Amino acid sequence: MTPDTVQIGLLGPIDVKVAGVPCSISGLRRKSVLAILALHPGKAISLGRLIELVWAGDPPMAAVNSLQQHISYLRGRLRASSAILAHPAGYLLDVPAAATDVGRAIELIGQSKQTADRRRRAGQLRAALRLWRGPSLVEVAGLPWLNDQARRLDDMRLYATERLAEARLESGEHVELVPELEELAGKQPIREGLYELLMLALYRSGRQAEALAVYQQLRRRLHSEMSAGPRPAARALEAAILRQDPDLRLPSPDTSAAPGLPLRITPARLPCSSSSFTGRRSELAQLRSHLPTADDQPGRPRATTIVLVSGAAGAGKTALVIQFAYQVREHYPDGLLYVDLRSSDQGRPAMDPAEAVLLFLDALGVSRDRIPTTPDAQGNLYRSLLNGRRVLLVVDDARDEQQVRPLLPGTSGCLVLVTSRRQLPGLVVTEGAHPLTLETA
């Protein structure tokens, strides 16, 4: 039996199949060990870290022996001693990411972000959502770290649900979507994205008054539970519904709009924020110092701000900027964009900036048949779309300045957060980027 015959399900109860045959795993600690390793396939987890997580910081005296017994048990159940390898850095589950339902869900959701065809995109998202069999990690979520991971995975499920609803709205399924979105919003009373989708579905179904009532319901709930008001995107949608903005109508497939000019949509392409993120107060404060001031009024030209967050592998650069982006999203009502340039990904080549521009044009609502054919024209369209808009862009894992420059907006109130293992002096000197060096925590 080889490791590639093992399939592990984490999106619900722990589910293991070996060569297609169900394989039961008994015991909370054993399931926890398997879940921790399966959340990091191909990556060694140290003995100390496993003990800390499995016993929630309060291990017994014989924790090392107990852990080794659990590993031996799991190897026997998986019918492959090589499925869990002893490594100098700890233990490693030697299976590909696609051997877990989490890995397959991440791959499908990632593919959907790069798919222009809405029907194909909807199919990819449906396939990802079918992988959930209930609440994530439901049998082991009593342990604090695994509980955090369960929340992260369930957030990913909600993200995919929202993106699927968007694709279905584009396809004209607004009437069918209303009851589904009403049920989801009832379960997630302060998730604004669901309310915005429900408002649009109701409006397109000819139920303007009900769409406006949903906004007021959201406003009351946010005030009651968070002492806050709706985000700019929700407020803008309410205003558009009140004035019956033509852009809210379902676009006709034979629209005569000029090539390259999309509906003005608000992209929200950030990855999920880590629920376990803590600390970095000083660095977050430094990032906040680059936010717009009271003098920066919407519509007034303002130079794009670039912040370069550099540091060694594992310093937490991506986690920091994603956390910050979510915290300050109200300052950038025209959208959130993200691209991973993959300069440190050993399994895939670094992304060409022209490919990244295409991803951004897709996020900004430009259909593939309206994208110019040359990279120069594509870049010009991209900068034109961002002109005068306040968008926050995360350009993650950059190799060099040449990979970043084509992604920079022109004169606008945008904020660009670049992460790199290198200090990229050319970006600082030539483009005026503000450097922030992140030490390993």
3-99 fold: Arc Repressor Mutant, subunit A (1.10.10)
- At 390 the pLDDT is 87
Indicate where the chain has its CATH 1.10.10.10 domain(s): 3-99
The burial class, CB within 10 Å (0-12 / 13-18 / 19+), for 239 is exposed
Indicate where the chain has its CATH 1.25.40.10 domain(s): 101-136+143-248
Q: At 78, which amino acid appears?
A: L
Question: Other CB atoms closer than 10 Å to residue 27's CB: what's the count?
Answer: 10
| pTM of the model as a whole | 0.57
Q: Return all residues near 266 (Cβ < 8 A) that are at least 6 apart.
A: 233, 236, 333, 334, 335
Residue 343: which of 369, 306, 318, 376 has the closest Cα? 318
The rounded distance, in Å, linking the Cα atoms of 119 and 110 is: 16
**CATH number at 281-437:** 3.40.50.300
CA distances from 57 to 15, 29, 60 (A): 26, 13, 10
Indicate where the chain has its CATH 3.40.50.300 domain(s): 281-437
- At 159 the pLDDT is 92
Q: pLDDT band for 179, please (50, 70, 90 cuts).
A: confident
pLDDT tens track for 304-330: 899 999 999 888 899 899 989 988 888
| Residue 137 predicted with pLDDT over 80 | yes
Residue 100 gets which letter from DSSP?
Answer: B
Tokens of 65: 């022996």
Q: Identify whether the C-beta of residue 326 lies closer than 8 Å to the C-beta of residue 273.
A: yes
pLDDT tens track for 37-67: 999 999 999 999 999 999 988 889 999 999 9
pLDDT tens track for 253-309: 433 333 334 455 678 888 877 656 667 888 889 999 988 765 554 444 457 899 999
- At 277 the pLDDT is 67
- At 255 the pLDDT is 36
The rounded distance, in Å, linking the Cα atoms of 379 and 404 is: 12
Tokens of 353: 């900036």
The listed CATH number (3.30.70.660, 1.25.40.10, 1.10.10.10, 3.30.70.2190) that belongs to domain 101-136+143-248? 1.25.40.10
Q: Please tell me the number of Cα atoms within 13 Å of 185 on its side-chain side.
A: 22
